[in-house]
Chain A
Amino acid sequence: MAEYDAIVIGAGNGGLTAAATLAQRGVNVLLLERHNIPGGCATSFCRGRFEFEVSLHQLSGLGSVEKPGPLRATLDRLGIMDKLEFVQIQDLYRVIVPGQLDITLKPDLGGMIHELQKRFPHEKDGIFAYFDFLYKLFTQVIGVFYFKDPETSREKYPLYYQYALKTAGEVMNRFIHDPLLQAAVSPYWTYMGLPPKYMSIVDMAAMFFAYLEFKPYHLKGGSQTLSNALADTIINNGGTLRFNCGAEKIIVKQGAVQGVITDKGEEIAAKYVISNASKISTYTEMMDMDQVPGEVRAQIKQCTLSQSAFTLYMGLDCEPEAVGLTQSTNFILGGTDPENSYRRMRVRDINDEDSMVLSCYNLIDPDFSPRGTCQVAMVTLKYGDTWLNVPPAEYAGEKYRMADAMLKVAEKVFPDLRRHIEEIEIATPLTHLRYLGHPRGAIYGFDHHIQNSELFIPPQSSVKGLYSAGGWIGYNGYQPTLDSGVMAAKALLTDMKGKQEDFHAKTNRQTV
């Protein structure tokens, strides 16, 4: 039987950084990936003369060489910084409520506040106070979490203690009131999946802080470059990467990991497994229920699945400006009531009440598609539930109907969009389900309610040797998932080191 020190299941962001970190430390690691290419969401596909980026929007936390963010250091330690070329994105976003609002914000605190105050002079003070609050709050979060202050207290971090469990909505309502203004400063809720009413204010603060302080970035060559670079770190450090091979079962005996059975029926021994698969398939598909600790079962039960997405990947036969695209990130909101848009996410339809984001990185990276063309991704969040019952024979038609409806909404802002489409690929919740293996095609793992956060659900379980990485523990997005893999690997290494020391201690005693 083949044997490894550790097996990583899934080559998504978390699986890749976990395996790369382990390989760098000399651990004999095997990374299993069902698909023929690494990356999970961090991938691309080719159609005609276009290579479509699947999921990377506005990379956060990177920072510049002069002012590095945490992600830059992480990627540097993974030995891949010199293989990647980043471009700073010049806009934060353009946010449009058709007929009511059209404002573009820059990723700069002062400039952004100024622009908002110009448009909403009646809320001048509230705007300043709101962002001032977000910054103050997040500075305290940094003290507690990133600098790991060993002596936290309410006196030292009053805002954090007071607001850690509050929603963005209730805080925002205290500072600003015009619904249009609220809409203008909160479209990022769609990056988390929950409207301000349910989303944590700390999460909202984290997003603004990350984007304003470290700026949003684009990666040349797309996210597949990152995935390929991480795969190289694994290969070059003696790790083994096996494509076209999934994990069927995690073997657990007496609460401890023994190895993995692959989808080819091969049994591979290992005392450590890091699962980058969904938490649900890890615990309900790959493990026998009697081996899953009770607290894990309870934790999963209290969670609900996040949205999936309906996405159009489009290659246009013209420059972005020809269809009126002037910013790389464009939120088109379905009105000023995010809760209505949120309710619409359960409906298998698209109309002008839905909120969507339309990205075009040709504006900052002319190599994003061939000269004279541009690549546009348009996404709206949709829960996958209603897609399960679409009869197979009607599936293609349903895809086209939804795509047509989505284009109709976009055409209100970018009227010439449709006639310039040269290539289009439509991804539904079932597409995400197929490629990610996530139930209902959930792209953000579980809904990010405050009670489901890491404050209440620890990232790792009590199964000996089993660790988790990826978007099903903690946050989603590139920066968090890349980090999660490193964290899981570090936890594993600490345990491994402890065991080795125990072993040496024992053998020493015996020899003495």
Chain B
Amino acid sequence: MQKQIVKQFDGYADIVKKIEIAEKKGTDFAAQKGEVAACINKLHPARIPLRISRVITETPSTCTLRLKADNCRLPPFQAGQYITLFLDIGSIRTSRPYSISSSPGRTGYWDITIRRVKNGLVSTYLLEDVKEGDLLESSGPQGNFHFNPIIHAKTMVCLAGGSGITPFMSMLREITDGGLDRILYLFYGSKTMDDIIFHTEITRLAQQFSNIKYLPVIEEPAENKSCETGFITADLIRKTIGGGDDKSFFICGPQAMYDFCLPDLEKLGIPKNKIRREMFGAPLNISGYSGWPPKIKPDDFFEVNVKDKGVFKARADEPLLVALEKNNLAIPSLCRSGECSMCRIKILSGQVFQAPGALVRKSDRQFGYVHACVSYPIKDLTILL
């Protein structure tokens, strides 16, 4: 119909002329084939092949893997961001996020620093089984735990616990490498002197650069008198930085550290919303969290029916994502801490317990979607991947 009447519209002939010209002079979009993919690959490649170029022993329990791109350029990242390694270990396909510990200015390689986790499938594999020359595969850099000049003050107060030092190591190296005028206070809590990662390098940088202030804090008091002992407390922070105004706070470490440090920061008058905290994996003792149904024991098993794909039994205290991986039903995942939503699945029936703090969209809650990495079966389930 339209084709017929449009010819009768005032100005039709003029438009036809315009079309004729446009058809002649127009864009040959076919010539731009591949442009979208190339653009995405430059900044956000989905998969990056990485060759282990060096294995650096940092402490008795910690190694750094230096990773170089295999036949491609590494995309840029912001200090504090992480990559996710995709791994096949035995019969299990899984993934792990690691903060990049090298400086964004070093564009030829990425360092990731791995501490051995007791009985840890992946840390054991990366510390014992892989060697220089091996090929790994990772995601592109991810995450929002980084300095943002729009909202962050130039003075950064960083609280690290254990292997939570890695994103700060990248920030610190960026500042010293690039001669940035940011001031960085680093409070770094470790169990023993031996556990401190990068101690020599940070000490040296703090001596060399007046805008880097380093305060290692050792949990075990008897051992050492040369540094602070105990925990990172409000008193210690106040003593070191003065007031909290015009400073931005970053915290990365195990859950116990958040539980201890957040109330102490509040004592300093720092509101929670001014503190950027990095995620640190799924909670280890989920059944100890408030809201966990008391009748359900951590080692209870429930049946998980994955629609059209299979049925298996899963432990109550094991994240569904891990149970899926153990049963050859790996799903995409990146942060494995409840934030990025890559492992979003739909619960068709049954019930899961979701770790507090998971960033689940309102409408996902309404329609039964959860993040499998921080969801635990507490009834028999039917799920849709």
Q: Which stretch in B36-44, B189-197, B198-206, B223-231 binds the other chain? A: B36-44
Contact B364–A388 (Cβ < 8 Å): no
Q: Does B22 contact A (CB under 8 A)?
A: yes
Which of A44, A144, A235, A456 is close to B384, meaning CB atoms less than 8 Å apart? A235
Given contacts A224-B361, A396-B76, A424-B151, contact A36 B39 (CB under 8 A): no
Contact B367–A392 (Cβ < 8 Å): no
Closest Cβ neighbor of A392 among chain B residues:
B76
Q: Which residues of A contact B30 (CB under 8 A)?
A: 284, 289, 297
CB contacts under 8 Å to B, within A439-457, are 439, 449-451, 454-456
Q: Does B27 contact A (CB under 8 A)?
A: yes
Q: Does B5 contact A (CB under 8 A)?
A: yes
CA distance A455 to B3 in the complex (A): 7
Q: How far is the CB of B142 from chain A (nearest CB, A)?
A: 13
Given contacts A228-B367, A392-B76, A438-B36, contact A154 B8 (CB under 8 A): yes
Which of A244, A298, A422 is close to B23, meaning CB atoms less than 8 Å apart? A298
Given contacts A46-B339, A221-B366, contact A301 B26 (CB under 8 A): yes
Q: How far is the CB of B308 from chain A (nearest CB, A)?
A: 9
Q: Does B107 contact A (CB under 8 A)?
A: yes
Contact B22–A451 (Cβ < 8 Å): yes
Q: Which residues of B contact A423 (CB under 8 A)?
A: 151
Closest Cβ neighbor of A289 among chain B residues:
B30
Q: How far is the CB of A69 from chain B (nearest CB, A)?
A: 23
Q: Does A108 contact B (CB under 8 A)?
A: no
Q: Which residues of A contact B144 (CB under 8 A)?
A: 47, 425
Q: Which residues of B contact A305 (CB under 8 A)?
A: 27
CB contacts under 8 Å to B, within A442-477, are 449-451, 454-456, 458
Contact A152–B23 (Cβ < 8 Å): no
* B51-86 vs A, Cβ < 8 Å mask (1 yes, 0 no): 000000000000000000000010110100000000
Which of B23, B39, B343 is close to A433, meaning CB atoms less than 8 Å apart? B39
CB contacts under 8 Å to B, within A408-435, are 418, 421-426, 430, 433-434
CA distance A231 to B368 in the complex (A): 12
Q: Does A276 contact B (CB under 8 A)?
A: no
Contact B344–A403 (Cβ < 8 Å): no
Q: Does B91 contact A (CB under 8 A)?
A: no
Contact B26–A422 (Cβ < 8 Å): no
Closest Cβ neighbor of A226 among chain B residues:
B363
Contact B11–A225 (Cβ < 8 Å): no
Q: Which residues of B contact A51 (CB under 8 A)?
A: 361-362
Given contacts A228-B369, A301-B23, A302-B19, contact A400 B148 (CB under 8 A): yes
Q: Which residues of B contact A196 (CB under 8 A)?
A: none
Contact A392–B42 (Cβ < 8 Å): yes
Q: Which residues of A contact B35 (CB under 8 A)?
A: 388, 439
Given contacts A388-B39, A434-B43, A456-B19, contact A285 B33 (CB under 8 A): yes
* B335-352 vs A, Cβ < 8 Å mask (1 yes, 0 no): 000010111101000000
Q: Does B6 contact A (CB under 8 A)?
A: yes
Q: Which residues of B contact A154 (CB under 8 A)?
A: 8
Given contacts A161-B9, A165-B10, contact A46 B341 (CB under 8 A): yes
Q: Which residues of B contact A400 (CB under 8 A)?
A: 148-150
CB contacts under 8 Å to A, within B315-370, are 331-332, 339, 341-344, 346, 359-364, 366-367, 369
Count of chain A residues with a beta carbon within 8 Å of a chain B beta carbon: 76
Contact B9–A165 (Cβ < 8 Å): yes
CA distance A440 to B30 in the complex (A): 14
Given contacts A392-B43, A438-B36, contact A161 B148 (CB under 8 A): no
Q: Which residues of A contact B42 (CB under 8 A)?
A: 392
Q: Which residues of B contact A300 (CB under 8 A)?
A: 29
Given contacts A46-B361, A392-B75, contact A424 B366 (CB under 8 A): no
* A278-308 vs B, Cβ < 8 Å mask (1 yes, 0 no): 0011011100010000000110111111000
Which of B11, B34, B274, B367 is close to A232, meaning CB atoms less than 8 Å apart? B367
Q: Which residues of A contact B11 (CB under 8 A)?
A: 165-166
Contact B15–A456 (Cβ < 8 Å): yes
Closest Cβ neighbor of A48 among chain B residues:
B273
Q: Which residues of B contact A404 (CB under 8 A)?
A: 149-150
CA distance A403 to B6 in the complex (A): 44
Contact A221–B363 (Cβ < 8 Å): yes
Q: Does A407 contact B (CB under 8 A)?
A: yes
Contact B43–A395 (Cβ < 8 Å): yes
Q: Does B125 contact A (CB under 8 A)?
A: no
Contact B23–A228 (Cβ < 8 Å): no
* A138-171 vs B, Cβ < 8 Å mask (1 yes, 0 no): 0000001000100010100000011111100000
Q: Which residues of B contact A221 (CB under 8 A)?
A: 362-363, 366
Contact B367–A36 (Cβ < 8 Å): no
Contact B40–A434 (Cβ < 8 Å): yes
CA distance A222 to B367 in the complex (A): 13
Q: Which residues of A contact B341 (CB under 8 A)?
A: 36-37, 45-46
Q: How far is the CB of B83 from chain A (nearest CB, A)?
A: 16
Q: Which residues of A contact B23 (CB under 8 A)?
A: 298, 301-302
Q: Which residues of A contact B119 (CB under 8 A)?
A: none
Contact A433–B9 (Cβ < 8 Å): no
Closest Cβ neighbor of B22 among chain A residues:
A302
Given contacts A46-B359, A438-B36, A455-B6, contact A165 B12 (CB under 8 A): yes
Q: Which residues of A contact B295 (CB under 8 A)?
A: none
* A197-229 vs B, Cβ < 8 Å mask (1 yes, 0 no): 000000000000000000000000110110111
Q: Does A5 contact B (CB under 8 A)?
A: no
Closest Cβ neighbor of B26 among chain A residues:
A301
Q: Does B239 contact A (CB under 8 A)?
A: no
Closest Cβ neighbor of A244 among chain B residues:
B332
Q: Which residues of A contact B10 (CB under 8 A)?
A: 161-166
Q: Does A393 contact B (CB under 8 A)?
A: yes
Q: Does B2 contact A (CB under 8 A)?
A: yes
A sample of 6 more A-B contacts (CB under 8 A), given A46-B361, A434-B43, is A228-B369, A284-B29, A302-B22, A396-B78, A424-B150, A439-B35
Subset of 17 A-B contacts with CB under 8 Å: A46-B339, A47-B359, A144-B5, A161-B8, A164-B9, A166-B10, A166-B11, A222-B363, A244-B331, A281-B36, A305-B27, A407-B150, A421-B150, A422-B151, A424-B148, A433-B39, A451-B22
The 7 A-B pairs with the shortest beta carbon distances in the complex, nearest first, are A302-B22, A46-B359, A301-B26, A225-B363, A165-B11, A228-B367, A221-B363
